[in-house]
Structure 1
Amino acid sequence: MSRRVCFALDLVDDADLIADYERAHAPGAVWPEVTRGIRDKGFTDMEIWRVADRLVMIAEVADDWPRHLDAAGKAVDARWEAAMDHFQRPLSCAGEEEKWVPMRRIYSLGEQAS
């Protein structure tokens, strides 16, 4: 069983930085240890979508998400986050330690009358 979660984050509004960020996320470009860590945290599928400087992450997560990483996984995660920091700018509603801000669903076609 899984459920969907969505998050938002902004990028620095610079075309060259945005292009570099996309290259860093191209197939095969993300460090294998990062991909493994994402799965270890309980993500079963994940996509990141972009329009202008806004990112939206749509993920399917396991029932026991979020899982905690071991020390080695945390170290890799911290290195990846540090490498991505100069591309990203938190939303104004983000907490002090928060980059990706959880989104709240406000509409579902399936819940609408026919």
Structure 2
Amino acid sequence: MKRYCQTLDLYDDKELIEAYVAEHAHVWEEVKAGIREVGIVDMQIYIYGNHLFMIMDTTDEFDMERDYARLATLPRQAEWEEHMSKYQKVLPGQSSQEKWKLMERIFKL
């Protein structure tokens, strides 16, 4: 199993942040199915202020570039990305892989 940790910032606006959190209480079923289909076994997003931290566990075969590109083509993924982008401090039209910045592990116990 592989693990990826990524970060992304939301606009620092209390109402937008609350709406973003509320959206994640009911992520569209097609989006969740697509995430699983490309080899993502578990995905968790944490929030601190307007900063997001995502932990993503994948199969050993998962390839970040290949499988994120494939994910973007699956049902409702692009629509979800566009829908979420109004909350995120990102450039218009950026893919999920471009939005979420891969973090480097600097310590492991």
1:10 CA drift (Å)? 0.3
- Report what 1:89 is aligned to: 89
Question: Structure 1 residues 107, 15: closer, same or farther in 2, change over 3 A?
Answer: same
CA distance in 2, matches of 1:20, 1:50: 13
Instruction: Say if 2:72 and 2:78, in contact at 8 Å, map to a contact too.
Output: no
Matched position secondary structure for 1:88: coil
- Report what 1:93 is aligned to: none
Q: Deviations over 1:19-67 (max 9, x none)?
A: 00000001xx100000001111210001000000000000111112143
Greater per-residue helix proportion: 2
- Report what 1:64 is aligned to: 61
Q: After TM superposition, which residue ranges in structure 1, 4 or more long, deviate above 6 angstroms?
A: none
Structure ID, larger Rg? 1
Q: CA RMSD in A?
A: 1.9
Report matched runs for 1:26-105 at 5 Å: 26=25, 29-66=26-63, 67=67, 68-69=70-71, 71=73, 73=74, 75-90=75-90, 98-105=98-105
Percent identity over the alignment is 40
TM-score (norm 2): 0.84
TM-score (norm 1): 0.80
- Report what 2:21 is aligned to: 22
CA distance in 1, matches of 2:48, 2:72: 34
1:69 CA drift (Å)? 4.1
Number of corresponding residues: 100
